[in-house]
Amino acid sequence: MSNAAEDMAARARAEAVVEAESLTDAVNAALELDSDLLDAEELAQIQQDIADFARSSAKTATPKTSAPPSPNSAAAPTTSPPNA
| Per-residue pLDDT, 62 | 52
Q: Report pLDDT for 59.
A: 77
65/20: higher pLDDT: 20
Lowest-confidence region among 4-8, 30-34, 69-73: 69-73
pLDDT > 50? residue 2? yes
Q: What length is written for the chain?
A: 84
In this structure, which amino acid lies at residue 21? E
* CA gap 50, 27 in Å, rounded: 9
Answer yes or no: is pLDDT of 70 > 60. no
